Chains A and B, each alone.
Chain A
């Protein structure tokens, strides 16, 4: 079974600064994907970034990048040049082929960007 743990219930950052959200996961398999989703007050679940476990290179999407440490089972999200619109709940999630083909989510981290 998969588990995903986000140990930071809340984080805050000043506008234009950098913040890192932490995530650890537990799976014994090799073929999986990891994700960060953003959920603003609109409740829409928005994909921020995706990482294939077989790729050693860390994924990046504009101001968003990850630090994927496979051996440590760690998958942190770095947001650079934080913007007020980044204020949201952020979820880390894993997807394991063969394990029900479902996403397993962490409990989430509330990120507040302050002006």
Chain B
């Protein structure tokens, strides 16, 4: 069965600190996609990044970067130089078929 685990319930950092959000997934599919979404207080889920199961190349996009490792089934997400506006709930999700399976989410609080 597909499952996504975000062990960190809540993280608090001070502005400008780097923060890494952990995500571990389980799937028997060989083709799958992983996503990170952000949910600010307004409630709308905002798409951040996507990675497919064929490509383990890690990338950086602005202040965001991610580390995908199939060997450990992990898809961690890092925010560099965090800002107060980054405060939100972050969800890691696994997609198979057209169904997203979400982790429980990590609350990120960035203090000024």
A and B interact physically: no
